[in-house]
Amino acid sequence: MLSATFIAFRNPSLRDSNPLLIYEPVEDCQYQYLTYDALSPESKRNGYDVKYTKRGFVIDGKASILLGGSIHYARSTPDTWDSLLAKAKEDGLNLVQLCA
């Protein structure tokens, strides 16, 4: 028995703008997404306002897309946790799930 499969790929159409971006990016901003560092000291002390809309989350009045990953602490040692979190932040993650 002979079987043949053909798969065709085509490049995605190019867009002039990012359809997932729900706010205008700030040119001099270090991050395109809201991180904990971007919150005001008052919000860090007293908590912050989180709302959900059809397009994503609004945190302290700033539209934000949550980009997350997970870290399995059982698969790492305590001395590497700071490094793992720093690498996650460097990669643009602003949400980290810690699996127990």
pLDDT in tens, the chain (100 residues): 555 555 555 555 565 665 555 555 555 544 446 667 777 788 778 887 888 887 778 887 778 778 888 888 788 888 988 888 888 888 888 888 877 6
User: In the prediction, which pLDDT does 46 show?
Assistant: 82
User: In the prediction, which pLDDT does 33 show?
Assistant: 60
Grouping H, G, I as helix, E, B as strand and the rest as coil, residue 90 is helix
* pTM for the model: 0.48
By C-alpha distance, which of 49, 54, 52, 56 is closest to 33? 56
**Per-position DSSP letters for 19-71, written without gaps between them:** TT--SPPPTT-S-SS--GGGS-HHHHHH---EEEETTEEEETTEEE---EEEE
User: In the prediction, which pLDDT does 20 show?
Assistant: 54
Rounded Cα distance between 28 and 8, Å, is: 41
- In eight-state DSSP terms, residue 93 is -
Rounded Cα distance between 92 and 68, Å, is: 9
The two tokens of residue 28 are: 């001099």
- Which residues contact residue 23 at a Cβ distance below 8 angstroms, ignoring those fewer than 6 apart? 62, 63
